[in-house]
Amino acid sequence: MTNENNIPDEGEVILIDKPLTWTSFDVANKLKRACKFKKIGHAGTLDPLATGLLILCTGKKTKQIDTYQAQEKEYTGTFILGKTTPSVDLETEFDAEYPTEHITPKTLENARLQLSGSIEQVPPIYSAVRVDGERLYKKARRGEVAEIKKRNVEVYLFEIDSQNFPSIDFRIICSKGTYIRSMVRDFGQLAGSGAYLSALCRTRIGAFELKNAWNLTEFIYQKRIALQLEV
């Protein structure tokens, strides 16, 4: 691929702090239009209600996307015990309430330990996993039931802070393919209750950290100035 001066497009790696409610595709599409990128892709989807680090690659750098996707991830966030939603976050309405009075610090610790190390998990029904060639979330929105295969993932670190119980703050470091919403769902079940994710932020992918990421609007503004485009 070349630019208008016939110079090869070596591409670049862009770190963006994904805005709340935006999909990862929304961010890539916005950058492509606003910054005139001919080729762009993201390395690891974030749910619309999650914020944090999104790696995007342009030009020849898109060949490195798989490498970035394979690296370990770090997340911080909050889940609430006692209620559930079909999506395990606030994308959908509450569908059930559960008791929390029986939950003790030992209950929480046992659940945390069972979700640490090498574990099996089932992706959420509201996810981008393909079943029979179609994204699961599309089937879920039609009310269809699909058979979802378990997957093996690694949870290298799982820290919880329950001082605001039933609200639980957490920090997780995990392998590629780990669904935080699945961990929240399973934690609620292991605690003899239910749970939903109220906030999630991806803080690191491999050696790339959120603190070094651009605000989307600021990146576009600076890029357009550098390209001498109309701002």
Q: Which residues of 63-87 are buried (b: 16+ CB within 10 A; e: fewer)?
A: eebeebbebebbbbbbbbbbbbbbb
For residue 4, being part of any structural domain is answered with no
Residue 90 resides in a domain: yes
Give the model confidence (pLDDT) of 157-166 as tens digits: 999 999 999 9
Model confidence over 36-93: pLDDT tens digits? Answer: 999 999 998 899 999 999 999 999 999 999 999 999 999 999 999 999 999 999 999 9
Q: Is residue 65 part of a domain?
A: yes
SS3 of residue 84 by DSSP: strand
Q: Which residue has the higher pLDDT, 216 or 226?
A: 216
State the pLDDT at residue 136. Answer: 61
Q: Is the same domain home to 103 and 28?
A: no
pTM across the whole model: 0.89
Same domain for 169 and 56, yes or no, is no
The reply to whether 78 falls in a domain is yes
Residues of the chain with pLDDT > 70, as a percent, come to 85
Average pLDDT, the chain: 90
Res. 140: pLDDT tops 90: no
**Structural domain span for residue 54:** 13-70+208-226
- Residue 86 shares a structural domain with residue 148: yes
- Residues marked active site are found at 47
Which domain CATH number covers 54? 3.30.2350.10
Do 125 and 144 lie in one domain? The reply is yes
177 shares its domain with 195: yes
Q: Are strands 214-215 and 13-18 parallel, antiparallel or unpaired?
A: parallel
Q: Does 144 lie in the same domain as 56? A: no
At 142 the pLDDT is 66
Q: pLDDT at residue 132 above 80?
A: no
Instruction: Judge if 81 and 195 occupy the same domain.
Output: yes
Confidence of residue 128 (pLDDT cuts 50, 70, 90): low
> Of 17-31, 64-78, 120-134, where does mean pLDDT reach its minimum?
120-134
117 shares a domain with 199: yes
6 occurs within a structural domain: no
How many domains does one find in the chain?
Answer: 2
Are residues 106 and 137 located together in one domain of the fold? yes
Q: How confident is the model at residue 226 (pLDDT cuts 50, 70, 90)?
A: confident
Q: Are residues 123 and 165 in the same domain?
A: yes
